[in-house]
Structure 1
Amino acid sequence: MNAVISPCNQYRYRLDREVAAEGKVIAYFGVNPSYADASIDDNTVIRMRSFTLSHQGKRFIVGNVFSYRSTNVRKLASTNDCFGLEHKFYLNQIIDEADILVPCWGSRNKLPQNLRQHLDSMLRLLLSSGKPVYSFGLTATGDPRHPLMLAGSTKLIPWEYKPTCLTI
């Protein structure tokens, strides 16, 4: 178990978990991290562990559209910096290390309006990586579903472009 957290403890740049001896490395990308760290899992990380095992993964990495740590996504609107100094470095590192990329941030409607374009930027980054991009399906807004509310039997499916989600 490992996590890269800023010295001020306000940003988590990546979270890693080993779950099996063999398999693929799956990278999940949510909106923003909460309290999970090198020794503590939150409910989303617990679900990601289960999904990684059921999809023959050996390890998973968690990255986020924003690195600011909060259990309330609306707090992103009131912070001066949603990303932190090392956000881009670690996002690129996660993408390089992963075999499969899984955006899974849920509906964009939970985000403040002025931050929603960052979801599209993240999706463009993932799709331009040349790596396989999968999701657990799409929300009504065309965004990738969040793993926390899904049945354990939910399968990853190849990403399909939906114009309601990605504006170029």
Structure 2
Amino acid sequence: MVDLKGNTTARPVIQGSAEFSDCGFYRHRLDRWWGEAPRALVIGANPSRAGADDNDPTICRLIALLSWRTDIGGFTMMNADDFIATDPADHVRWRDGLDITALKFVRGQNLQRIRDVSTTAAVRIVAFGNLLTPGLHRDRVLAALSLDGRHPLFAFGLTDSGAPKHPLARGHHRIPNDAPLIEWRPALRSAA
């Protein structure tokens, strides 16, 4: 393998793990690591069925975007909602099908898991594209991720609307493998 400076290096051995709910409908976290350096915490909108030993296109892309960095030894992938839905429409149907008490309970547990992992993250990366719209839930996810604003949030790049790019952004929005992380601050919502 050739690194970004043109040096020949050994391809890192990538290890993985994943944590699913007992019912199999929720993926709480997915980990990939290749070194001893601390791990990044990456937040998407909703998870796929990728597991300990199998990657989906998003996880493959995250490996390409992060494995060259010497300050990051891996990443933990978590999501704003941990219900498995590879199609965003399935995620909306799930959310709309829960009563408010059940939704608050499920989201509350997920937010606590995000907060717990964030305490040891080397860097906190938002990568949900335009799938997580501004609102109370996004605000709570960002508060859990940043530990109530004590840590900065980073992105691989920004969409035209200022949202953090999803790793699978295409066309002229595609993220180069060597893209530096940029600090990301959500646009303030109007009080109106």
- CA displacement, residues 82-137 of structure 1 (integer Å, 9 cap, x when unaligned): 646841332122211211000110014xx6x7x95422332233332523321112
**1:103 equivalent in alignment to 2:126:** yes
Matches within 5 A, 1:2-151: 2-20=17-35, 22-56=36-70, 57-79=72-94, 80=98, 83=106, 86-108=109-131, 117-127=136-146, 128-149=148-169, 150-151=175-176
Q: CA deviation at 1:55?
A: 2.7
Structure 1 window deviating more from structure 2 (83-92 vs 47-56): it is 83-92
Q: CA deviation at 1:167?
A: 6.0
Which amino acid is the alignment partner of residue 42 of structure 1? D
Distance 2:108 2:141 in 1: 17
- RMSD over equivalenced CA pairs, Å: 2.4
TM-score by length of 2: 0.73
TM-score by length of 1: 0.83
The 3 A distance-change label for structure 1 pair 93 and 153 is same
Which amino acid is the alignment partner of residue 145 of structure 1? K
Which amino acid is the alignment partner of residue 40 of structure 1? D
The 3 A distance-change label for structure 1 pair 120 and 84 is closer
Contact 1:3-1:12 within 8 A present in 2 as well? yes
Structure label with greater radius of gyration: 2
Partner of 2:9: none
Distance 2:89 2:138 in 1: 15
Which amino acid is the alignment partner of residue 39 of structure 1? D
Unaligned stretches of 5+ in structure 1?
none
The 3 A distance-change label for structure 1 pair 59 and 167 is farther
Q: CA deviation at 1:145?
A: 0.7
